[in-house]
Structure 1
């Protein structure tokens, strides 16, 4: 026997083979120790691994702690072990590492199986030898490119790290680290982020089917992405469920029932330009960045918005926001269709001069100009067509368009802004900055300033009542020419010659938004006093020192306008809209907190407030906003004001209820494009329906009963008495006989600011 072995060993080919085996063995041993000693880069020590710090996304939460969105580089939301349902852990172990609780980071049984079946027998179905701990090591530290031996070096590194992790952490702690770092589909890191994204729920609420779906995607998170490949994802889910049944984590009956149930996603994107309240999240991010610039952590370092796992508590009501967005989409889709149909094929967005003007604003055009290209050369360059994704209410499309074509498409779309706040604090409950943040980044709540039209008239009437004007004072509807203002003659929509003989009380004049009377009231009280009143109500914009101010030619920010109107239901105090209540670090420590900003001084006395509220209730009950009652069937306590600007460029509606003040605006981003007709463009048709649809949805949801069932306080007896007059008076026979129907020339506008 010994002689036979000696003879075999003397064979030169056998000798060479043995030497090769020994050389390979020594090579890998040397390679392992060189890796262990750090020659291929430092391997984390036990001390390093004891202080694993993971980058965490900053979470934006609504007023009830519900997740609205996140700011991140890696979309990750860490959880504690107690947050993981048992069936989630069972699915992972059964699928990825059935001996997880028995090995020390390296599963020698699996490695032997891989060597024999996968390498020697070439059985691709035999499975891998990677453990959960090895995968964790890869998730934590990634892999580097080491040329020819990259896979070997990385595997050795991971095995060293895995061994050390097992010595430092318990199995439950390793599972916690794994679930918080493992990459899922759609650039999502950690089980909580994946659960929120694909099923819109917390990890602890995942069903067995949902847990198996997410675990199944780990095998190849693009190939088994449930959003992109639902059929594949479901097949993979069934494999996971079968593994759970095979290893005793699931009964055969349960397996049969669950596999018969299709996977149902409730996908919710947290990308910055998608998902719920994207304009709000962007505005919060701007304010948050400014806040974080003023504070540091316990080590004196600045906070990182994208990595430090902050929690930002906001005033937004997530459920209310979703209802507001649905209301906006319902109305704007229909209005856009009507808007385009009204112009037919001759819409202003086809006007060459208008398109030329927009082309010249482009950075690319300006760059070509700086490079010395002629207009003809620039136009040739911009005429090249390329694939462009276009917004459409019927569904986004991709078309081959030139730059001019793209501008024409962009110009046709109406946009909107909507803000709803709690008037007692200014807390923002809903925030819509535009129709779709992906395509229209400009924010019509915080950035835009538009003419406010007739929504400014309540400022005029408030100044009048506050300065002693009788609520039952009558003014003629007759047109008047103001001699010291270029003979300017304001008129009323749908006016006729009999208007000269009609006289309205202040209530009817405001509720029916009569232009001629608004200017007369301003003239009587004085421009300076109207401007002062607006300033006391929180308007900081410099207002035009002109009589047309009464008709809302001032361009005011929607957010500021909303704050001004809170004073009518906040005991005459202005509540400034705000978004953030507090910020916590990832340990739960409050690092900043914010209180409502309520003006200390009253904007007007309580008598004025009650009179104005009564007049604006009349607007809803039988004035320009009466369709809230007739068309939308709203029986709530509502006061309001519609607004329309010159040439139907802007439509507004202000809805005031005891516990919510809402302002909506609709128009085109290009100020030269308006609605073709007043009937379509007036605030009652363009902006009011968003409020109408919104409040219908609130009424249908008992969660908002405290808001929708609220009532205005009873007016004082003096207010009731002072408003007890006929809404209109007609001139008698003799007065009509001697009163001219022609335009009346009036004295100069009073109290202009010099």
Structure 2
């Protein structure tokens, strides 16, 4: 080779070296500039230091029972944060073994994974570390699928991952990773996922359950346990194999777990599912007002769907469950009796309505329906909308055995739903006002009207104790005083009576001289009328208002028989006053509210005031005990069986402890009531149809003792069966130096007496003091 040729070769080499290094520096400079510009936010928004410190994870507000159970949530995304210490070890190990086995060795970016990402030109391919995946989910989502934008996204991922590693510990990063992932079916975050798919807290997950949830990180839509059980099983087994490969579990353990079937306890965590649905909706309305009255330190509003508040309620999840089970057990059977009776009614479920009256009621229901609202918004005329109610439509309807798919006209569906017996039930502690159970209806998804706080219904004879309490206070009477049960008339003009009023007893009988205790036990109408005539309706109304009843009550003597509409909530609170020695305590549903960091935001102050002195309150309790000893509530003492025994009326309750209570039945059996108390728990139950024109024809099933009392009894049997609840079996506290005579000698059993037409035995009490009106 000549010198000239060698020179040319050297010159070319030098040229290409310079060119290589120039491009190399251009490349490095470009990469450096890309990272620099990305960190400055010039290539798209980047999280600030404050955002890294407090990433916006859209936390659900939790509703927590008094016994520490999460009974519901308010959320846009069903996500509840969980700390690393609450994650089971097998869950963490499964994640690391499957998604990032070198997690504890890198600082957010894994060189090997990075090289793989470069080779695969912008596709994930399992390349991202857990920290990078967290960065993607927290701050910039999936982004574009174009290669250039995907590369920019990867750069941003790296930068955020490094910042996360500097800002948080490894354990905190794992906890955040579990908290932000969307597991489908409204389950965002591991806590929601564990609850939705297995009905558990994360710390209770078994190894195979942990493997199922970790397997979903690959693609939760594809590996959905509900829709793709075989694919989920295959993916779970891959996770278990990775755990065995990492020596987290043994080969034998892997093989054993891989053979297990997929067992779910699936329940969607929605606003309309779970327990205490009616209560949670009531609470939502309360919180809407609360956020208006309570601001954040910076003056902005709290968001109950995003701020992760914790609402600690007074509801006891055990009592709530028992209350809902009691409703299910009794009303399912009672509904069958109602349906059997209605099968012979051509205008079912309405009774004694004319064609015009029926159509008026149906039209009101149509116009209140969602169908009417939607069609009206779409510009349909009234005639077009009415025509649609006669067209058969596919729909899913409520039954006591679960939802059923069927085809019927919307008009038929209106009648179908109006045929269902409804209920309202509430239980509370008389001393604290803490509401322990709240059942507003039979199924919130299909019947959203709350019969505890919204629905005021006629209370019938459950109003009579207010009349008796007024008489004891103003006339210095006692439960043992006697009064004549005889025909009685209040003339026109007295007590605002517009027409002469002559109340009659339910069975048309008059018993002569009876004690007040017997009169209330038998719910004798003439005695209640005589008492209110003596004290005046206004005095009774005044006392009732002091007992917390918010309803408008007409100043008429007829209120003595219960021609008053009152909510279950107000009735239970009023009766509780007697059990609390005459002190009214307003029902309270919230213990406290905290923010997501546990800072106290709200602690309600108990509202209470004196209504009656202890002696009078105790005297009313003794009157109400008479109802369950020898009146319409005496079936609480039965062993079961005997004449007339059936699944609706003959439960073997066999209570032996003191119980104060009162049944109530309104005209035509449209409303059945029972309010019952033991010293530390009061509960009230109403049963009836949505429309008062739909009801049982007779009193056998329509009376309060049959319709409502069994729900109370089943609930209390379940509460007594749970010793952890410590529901009282003891007598009500007797005031020291009691000045009112309450111990009435019981001597003669009157087996022919009835209360509200109920065939139950009653005790004849010997008259000790006479008080004639």
For residue 463 of structure 2, what is the aligned residue in structure 1?
456
Is the 2:58–2:307 contact (alpha carbons within 8 Å) kept by the matching residues of 1? yes
For residue 570 of structure 2, what is the aligned residue in structure 1?
560
State the Cα distance separating 1:434 from its structure 2 match.
0.9
- Structure 1 residues 721, 277: closer, same or farther in 2, change over 3 A? closer
For residue 70 of structure 2, what is the aligned residue in structure 1?
67
- Tell me the distance in 2 between the aligned counterparts of 1:362 and 1:55: 33
For residue 161 of structure 2, what is the aligned residue in structure 1?
162
- Structure 1 residues 357, 101: closer, same or farther in 2, change over 3 A? closer
Q: Deviations over 1:602-661 (max 9, x none)?
A: x22323222221121111122101111113122232111001111111111001100000
Q: Deviations over 1:662-707 (max 9, x none)?
A: 0011111223222222111111111111111111111211212x21
State the Cα distance separating 1:518 from its structure 2 match.
1.7
- Structure 1 residues 666, 559: closer, same or farther in 2, change over 3 A? same
**Structure 1 portions without partners, runs of 5+:** 11-17, 731-754
Is residue 138 from structure 1 mapped to residue 136 from structure 2 by the alignment?
A: yes
- Structure 1 residues 43, 471: closer, same or farther in 2, change over 3 A? closer
- Tell me the distance in 1 between the aligned counterparts of 2:145 and 2:235: 33
Q: Quick one: which of 574, 577, 583 aligns to 2:593?
A: 583
For residue 709 of structure 1, what is the aligned residue in structure 2?
729
- Tell me the distance in 1 between the aligned counterparts of 2:32 and 2:406: 59
- Structure 1 residues 223, 211: closer, same or farther in 2, change over 3 A? same
- Tell me the distance in 2 between the aligned counterparts of 1:25 and 1:66: 58
- Structure 1 residues 30, 110: closer, same or farther in 2, change over 3 A? closer
Is residue 391 from structure 1 mapped to residue 398 from structure 2 by the alignment?
A: yes
- Structure 1 residues 673, 103: closer, same or farther in 2, change over 3 A? same
- Tell me the distance in 2 between the aligned counterparts of 1:131 and 1:151: 16
- Structure 1 residues 489, 260: closer, same or farther in 2, change over 3 A? farther
For residue 265 of structure 1, what is the aligned residue in structure 2?
264
- Structure 1 residues 663, 46: closer, same or farther in 2, change over 3 A? closer
Is residue 615 from structure 1 mapped to residue 623 from structure 2 by the alignment?
A: yes
For residue 770 of structure 2, what is the aligned residue in structure 1?
none
Is residue 417 from structure 1 mapped to residue 424 from structure 2 by the alignment?
A: yes
State the Cα distance separating 1:114 from its structure 2 match.
6.8
- Secondary structure of the 1:184 match is coil
- Tell me the distance in 2 between the aligned counterparts of 1:673 and 1:212: 53
State the Cα distance separating 1:265 from its structure 2 match.
3.3
Is the 1:634–1:695 contact (alpha carbons within 8 Å) kept by the matching residues of 2? no
TM-score normalized by the length of structure 1: 0.85
State the Cα distance separating 1:455 from its structure 2 match.
0.5
Count of matched residue pairs: 704
- Secondary structure of the 1:613 match is helix
- Structure 1 residues 589, 29: closer, same or farther in 2, change over 3 A? closer
- Tell me the distance in 2 between the aligned counterparts of 1:226 and 1:235: 11
For residue 307 of structure 2, what is the aligned residue in structure 1?
308
Q: Deviations over 1:719-753 (max 9, x none)?
A: 456634767999xxxxxxxxxxxxxxxxxxxxxxx
For residue 439 of structure 1, what is the aligned residue in structure 2?
446
1:235-634 matches, cutoff 5 A: 235-346=234-345, 347-349=347-349, 353=359, 354-362=361-369, 365=372, 376-467=383-474, 468-484=476-492, 485=497, 486-495=499-508, 499-500=509-510, 502-599=512-609, 601=610, 603-630=611-638, 631-634=652-655
- Tell me the distance in 1 between the aligned counterparts of 2:116 and 2:144: 27
- Secondary structure of the 2:696 match is coil
Q: Deviations over 1:153-193 (max 9, x none)?
A: 43343233223323443322321221221222323222222
- Tell me the distance in 2 between the aligned counterparts of 1:721 and 1:36: 83
Is the 1:411–1:669 contact (alpha carbons within 8 Å) kept by the matching residues of 2? yes
Q: Deviations over 1:313-368 (max 9, x none)?
A: 11111111111111111111111121111111525347752423422445765898
- Tell me the distance in 2 between the aligned counterparts of 1:111 and 1:40: 20
TM-score normalized by the length of structure 2: 0.83
- Tell me the distance in 2 between the aligned counterparts of 1:471 and 1:45: 74
Q: Deviations over 1:574-624 (max 9, x none)?
A: 11101112111222211211132221x2x2232322222112111112210
- Tell me the distance in 1 between the aligned counterparts of 2:38 and 2:187: 31
State the Cα distance separating 1:446 from its structure 2 match.
1.2
Q: Quick one: which of 675, 692, 705 aligns to 2:713?
A: 692
- Tell me the distance in 2 between the aligned counterparts of 1:115 and 1:145: 18
- Tell me the distance in 2 between the aligned counterparts of 1:570 and 1:199: 42
- Secondary structure of the 2:693 match is coil
- Tell me the distance in 1 between the aligned counterparts of 2:306 and 2:455: 31
Moved more, 389-398 or 535-544: 535-544
Q: Deviations over 1:430-486 (max 9, x none)?
A: 111111111111111111111111100001111111122343343444443444253
Moved more, 388-397 or 135-144: 135-144
- Secondary structure of the 1:542 match is coil
- Over aligned residues, Cα RMSD in angstroms? 3.4
Is residue 638 from structure 1 mapped to residue 659 from structure 2 by the alignment?
A: yes
- Secondary structure of the 1:183 match is coil
For residue 207 of structure 1, what is the aligned residue in structure 2?
206
- Tell me the distance in 1 between the aligned counterparts of 2:378 and 2:324: 44
1:169-188 matches, cutoff 5 A: 169-188=168-187
Is the 1:387–1:398 contact (alpha carbons within 8 Å) kept by the matching residues of 2? yes
Is the 2:342–2:349 contact (alpha carbons within 8 Å) kept by the matching residues of 1? no
State the Cα distance separating 1:48 from its structure 2 match.
4.7
- Structure 1 residues 229, 666: closer, same or farther in 2, change over 3 A? farther
Is residue 55 from structure 1 mapped to residue 54 from structure 2 by the alignment?
A: no
- Tell me the distance in 2 between the aligned counterparts of 1:225 and 1:87: 21
Q: Deviations over 1:499-540 (max 9, x none)?
A: 245432211111121222222222233222222222232223
State the Cα distance separating 1:49 from its structure 2 match.
2.8
For residue 737 of structure 1, what is the aligned residue in structure 2?
none
- Tell me the distance in 2 between the aligned counterparts of 1:153 and 1:412: 63
Moved more, 158-167 or 214-223: 158-167
- Secondary structure of the 1:76 match is coil
Is the 1:62–1:315 contact (alpha carbons within 8 Å) kept by the matching residues of 2? yes
